[in-house]
Amino acid sequence: MTIPVQDDGHDERHERWQQQEDAASAATRDIADVPAVEVITTAAVHLMSAAAVKTGLADDPDSELDLDEARKLINALAGLITAGAPEISDMHARSLRDGLRSLQLAFREASAIPDPIGKGPGEKWTGPVN
């Protein structure tokens, strides 16, 4: 005789947890093989892309323009590039700085009330952009 057991979903939850744990372990192993310069530049490119969209440089600037968000992203990008530049070589840092400067200028152009020179997003770390 078999006694019915109430299924409380415990085994299913445990299986999902185990799958997530396995995926996290695999990701951790993968990231361990990536050189720091790639992690830093990839993070910078993601910040740069998001800032470009929020600055109105994407396909639909009317619906995507958000200068408050753009300011935060540009500040974070400037801090990352400034701190990371000595670690990633001048070759990588130069192109990131050029992209950052372009974003800072685009922000200034998109802003109805421009920040004073030296007070725009990221200028705390990069110096004045004009």
Instruction: For 51-107, write each residue's pLDDT tens digit.
Output: 999 999 988 888 899 999 999 999 999 999 999 999 999 999 999 999 999 999 999
Alpha carbon distance 55, 65 (integer Å): 5
| Structural domains counted in the chain | 1
**2 has pLDDT over 60:** no
Q: Residue 13 falls within a domain, yes or no?
A: no
Domain carrying residue 66: 37-126
Q: pTM here?
A: 0.76
Q: Residue 53 falls within a domain, yes or no?
A: yes
Q: Residue 5 falls within a domain, yes or no?
A: no
Q: Spell 76-100 as b/e; 16+ CB within 10 A means b.
A: bbbebbbebbeebeeebbeebbebb
Q: Residue 54 falls within a domain, yes or no?
A: yes
Per-residue confidence (pLDDT) for residue 14, from 0 to 100: 82
